[in-house]
Structure formats: C-alpha cells, structure tokens
With several copies, the nearest count.
Chain A
Amino acid sequence: MKVRYFAWMKRTVGLPEEEVAPPADVTTVGDLIVWLRARSPGHAEALAEGAAFGAAVDQRTATFDVKLAGAREVAFFPPFTGG
C-alpha cells in the first residue's frame, strides 16, 4: 500500500510517499494513522492526535472509519486551501 503526504505534512514526515505493509489488524484509516505514528518522530508529529488533517483512500476523501480493504493508495493532508 502506498501512503502519501501533502503540504506541511510531507515536510514534517520527511518524505512525500512510502510503501508500507501494515499488519492484518490495521483495517481502517484510523488504525493506519496509529500504526504510522510509530515509524518516526516526524510521523508521530504530523499524524498527532488533534492535528488538523484529512485523508483520502484511492484518491477519494475518506473519514477515519473508512475500511482499507483493497486500498492501493492512502493520502494524508491538511485542510484544502485552493481557489
């Protein structure tokens, strides 16, 4: 599964994307967040509880209870500021 980070989260994590293979008990976006925090202090800071960020699963906005089953790409990003 590919995980991508955008805007300030990319800088805080220290990389734009990474391939990860979480264990079988990581079934939702929320599970993945908790699991990713352990990978580095940058991950822990970017994905900290209470930080304002959202997620997308396979390029569609997803809440943290969305299941990962079959997902190929999960992204984390701060609130959108386009337009």
Chain B
Amino acid sequence: MTVCVQEADFDVGAELARLTDGNKRIGGLAVFVGLVREMHVREGYHRDKVDALTLEHYPGMTEKALEEIEAEANRRWPLEATLIVHRYGRMEAGERIVLVAVGSPHREAAFEACEFLVDWLKTKAPFWKLEETPAGEKWVGAHEGDDAAAARWEKKP
C-alpha cells in the first residue's frame, strides 16, 4: 500500500515495475491514468477549451484520505499491491494527473478495486481543480456523475 502526493510527474512504467517486482502472486494488474483533457465537455454546464489546470489540495488531509481509501479497497478485495500517485500544482493539457494501480491474483478483483479507488478518490480526497480557459480561470464544479459513481460502492446498511 503506497500513497504519493507530489507536484512532479511520475513514470508509469517505473512505478508499476516497483509495485509488482518480486511478487509472483499477482496475476492481474489493473491501472488507471488520469490526464488533463484539452476539451472539457459537460452538457448544460460549460464547454470550454482547457489549456491547463491547477490542482489545489489540502496537505496532510490529502494523504490521510488517500490512505483510508486504499485501506478500504484492501479490506474489500484480496489485493497484493495498491498504489495511488496524485499530483498537485499546474498541469497542461495532455499531462498525467493521477495513477492508480492494483495488483491481485485475480483480474476481476484488480479491475473492481481500481475502479473503486478512482471513484472514491474523486469524491473523498481534498483536491480542487482550477481550469485555465481562453475565457479565464474557472473552478471546476463537482460532477454529479462522480457522486453517482462513488455512491455505487457505498455499503448497504
């Protein structure tokens, strides 16, 4: 279980190699890389060209939140390795923002846990996106789709 919150870009190949090296119990590694998309399309909200964004975060709380999310994934699925790397600061279109990787003996668990981590970190980790568009800076509003995606993992009472 590893969480990194950093301003610098990350090397996906090196991170994944470090995560799985020497562990022969991993049959499937599911990975998600989130990137800055040039076009920010959101029906009925705005549709602007995004040249870059700045990710603000809450140092201290961010690491705690990500560690809790990661621990929850490890409680729910039989995982051999988990990694979350999340950047903050200014990033241009095309740059990597976040890396989530999950290794498990079984691919189903790896995929599910990876999706879970991505959904939850979007709604439970203290990051805020400020987009640079030709019309100026704009704070990104919370995406209802993200809340719905995160909610599907809530345990029924």
A residues near B (Cβ < 8 Å) are 4, 6-8, 52, 56, 59-61, 75, 77-83
Contact = CB atoms under 8 A, between A and B. Distances in A.
A61 B62 CA distance: 11
A7 B61 contact: no
B64 A59 contact: yes
A77 B126 contact: yes
Contacts of B64: 59-60
A80 B60 contact: no
14 contacts: A6-B128, A7-B56, A7-B128, A52-B142, A59-B58, A60-B61, A75-B61, A75-B126, A78-B139, A80-B127, A81-B139, A82-B126, A82-B129, A83-B98
Given A82-B126, A82-B128, 10 more contacts: A8-B139, A56-B61, A79-B141, A79-B142, A80-B124, A81-B140, A81-B143, A82-B86, A82-B127, A82-B129
Given A6-B126, A7-B128, A59-B61, A80 B142 contact: yes
Contacts of A75: 58, 61, 126
A61 to B, nearest CB: 7
Contacts, number: 74
Nearest to B127: A82
Nearest to B119: A83
Main secondary structure of the interface of B (DSSP, over half): mixed
B129 A6 contact: no
B118 A83 contact: yes
Contacts of A78: 128, 139, 142
Interface of B: 34, 55-58, 60-61, 64-65, 86, 97-98, 118, 121-130, 139-143, 146
Q: Is the interface of A mostly helix, strand, loop or mixed?
A: loop
Nearest to A11: B139
Contacts of A6: 56, 58, 126, 128
B139 to A, nearest CB: 5
Contacts of B65: 61
B60 A59 contact: yes
Nearest to B28: A83
Given A60-B64, A82-B129, A83-B97, A77 B34 contact: no
